[in-house]
Amino acid sequence: MKTAIITVGKEVLTGKTINTNLATISRRLNEIGIDVNRSIVIDDIKEEYYSILDFCDSDLIIFTGGLGPTVDDITRETVIDYFKVETYLDKNILKDIKDYFGRIKVKMEDTNDKQAYFPKNSIIINNELGTAPGVIFKADNKTIVLFPGPPHEMIPMLEELIKYLKKELDIKLYSKGFKLVGIGESTIEKALTGFYDKHPLVNVAPYASIGEIKYVFTSSNKEKLEETMNDFYSKFSEFIYGDLDDTLEGIIVQKLIDEKMVISTAESCTAGQLAHMITKVSGSSEIFKEGFITYSYEAKSKYLNVLQDSLIKYGAVSNEVANEMAIGLAKETLADIAISITGIAGPTGDTPDKPIGLTYFGLTHNGVTKTFKKIFNGNREMVRTRATIYALNLIRKELFK
């Protein structure tokens, strides 16, 4: 099935908004065996729509953007006009839009009415997070899909399209995957030499993000899927922390609950990100004891009993201080696991001996303290994120060893 994704909006054309919708839609379609053969970004000008649609020979055409109530939101009207399909006013959708404005206590403008007009015999996809519903309809032997532009509105609707396509095309695919941490995509791919040729009936797709990576396996043959995943697992089991529905912090919290253990954190360069990651998990109140953000020398000494001599001699970013932070944290909070982070996130603060990204970790468990040293690349936020994920992985490995 030839597929085109047409993104609408000057803000995308000018680079003010990153086109994350393209990546999200392409990825999900690929997971059910549909490849995107064309992608284009257009301005919200009627002639631009017509020009693209005139030469577009795709069987599935997906528009994102231009479904709002303003005068420059013209996707719905223009596409319907191009394909010359009849429309109708959906009173239920109009009521939903009015109810939405009632909930947020904002006056609804008359222009919002146009968001309730749809092609006859179309499938409407409700928008729970905004006023612009999505729509699927057929015209000229093509399947046309209209999605709103905001990603947080589009993504839930995309899943409805996936369900529709699976049913419409009679797609029977099995899809599972792994999430990995502590290993990079290039290292994995190098170790997978010959792997893809060995498993030709299974589509294997890697998706990397800062600090971790997921591999998605898709096939119409359930047995071959399991065989491929078992082969993959045998190669990378020490780095696999869960399946596609798991999160690193989620499995940590659950393990701590199961083991009836509590954890405390002491952070410098990450400024509470580790505590945030843990405590955003439901049920974390059972296992999270205390969290400290100790940026200054004074705070490290006051709350964690780090020796002034150590701070002066070795500096705050050092193996010795990370060690004392973890030991002091464990003693002060009586936590089963105490973990400390101290580093240089940048863009300033580095020295010839201590580059930006240098980070030390201390982890105390059962009276034993271990320290770790890493140098992370990237800007300030990337260093902080990588350090946080690295710390989570240290906790995971300690809990599941």
Instruction: Give the mean model confidence (pLDDT) for residues 313-334.
Output: 98
- The number of beta carbons lying within 10 Å of the beta carbon of residue 78 is 21
> Where are the alpha helices (H) located in 237-318, listed in sequence order?
248-258, 273-279, 297-304, 308-314
- Residue 273, helix vs strand vs coil: helix
Encode pLDDT of 328-366 as tens digits.
Answer: 999 999 999 999 999 999 999 999 999 999 999 999 999
- Residues 258 and 286 sit within 8 Å (Cβ to Cβ): no
In our burial notation (b when 16+ CB lie closer than 10 A, e otherwise), range 208-236 reads: eeebbbbbbbbbeeeebbebbbeebeeeb
Encode pLDDT of 140-187 as tens digits.
Answer: 999 999 999 999 999 999 999 999 999 998 888 899 999 999 999 999
CA angle 121, 125, 131 (to 5 degrees): 115
Encode pLDDT of 45-92 as tens digits.
Answer: 999 999 999 999 999 999 999 998 888 899 999 999 999 999 999 898
* DSSP one-letter code for 376: -
Encode pLDDT of 203-260 as tens digits.
Answer: 999 999 999 999 999 999 999 999 999 999 999 999 999 999 999 999 999 999 999 9
Please, which residues have CB within 8 angstroms of residue 375's CB and are 6 or more apart in sequence?
355, 357, 358, 359
User: CA nearest 269: which of 294, 243, 299?
Assistant: 294
Encode pLDDT of 260-296 as tens digits.
Answer: 999 999 999 999 999 999 999 999 999 999 999 999 9
What is the predicted pLDDT for the residue at 33? 84
Instruction: Give the mean model confidence (pLDDT) for residues 93-110.
Output: 83
* DSSP one-letter code for 318: S
Cα–Cα distance between 292 and 66 in angstroms, integer? 46
Cα–Cα distance between 386 and 401 in angstroms, integer? 22
Q: Which two tokens stand for residue 87?
A: 């429309």
User: CA nearest 299: which of 316, 275, 278?
Assistant: 316
Antiparallel, parallel or unpaired: β 3-8 and 36-42: parallel
Antiparallel, parallel or unpaired: β 240-243 and 288-293: unpaired
- The number of beta carbons lying within 10 Å of the beta carbon of residue 137 is 21
pTM for the full predicted model: 0.77
Phi then psi for residue 151, to 5 deg, are: -55, -40
What is the predicted pLDDT for the residue at 72? 87
In this prediction, residue 321 has a pLDDT band, given cuts at 50, 70 and 90, of: very high
- Residues 395 and 256 sit within 8 Å (Cβ to Cβ): no
Instruction: Give the mean model confidence (pLDDT) for residues 370-382.
Output: 97
Tell me which residue has tokens 């995308």. 12
Q: Which two tokens stand for residue 247?
A: 């999160």
Encode pLDDT of 104-127 as tens digits.
Answer: 888 888 778 888 889 999 999 998
User: CA nearest 183: which of 143, 238, 245?
Assistant: 238
CA angle 163, 64, 127 (to 5 degrees): 60
Q: 104: which strand partners? A: none
- Residue 367, helix vs strand vs coil: coil
Domains (range + CATH), the chain: 3-168 (3.40.980.10), 174-243 (3.30.70.2860), 248-399 (3.90.950.20)
- Residues 310 and 330 sit within 8 Å (Cβ to Cβ): no
- Residues 351 and 400 sit within 8 Å (Cβ to Cβ): no
User: CA nearest 146: which of 54, 46, 76, 69?
Assistant: 76
Q: Report the share of the chain in percent with pLDDT over 90.
A: 86
What is the predicted pLDDT for the residue at 51? 96
* DSSP one-letter code for 284: G
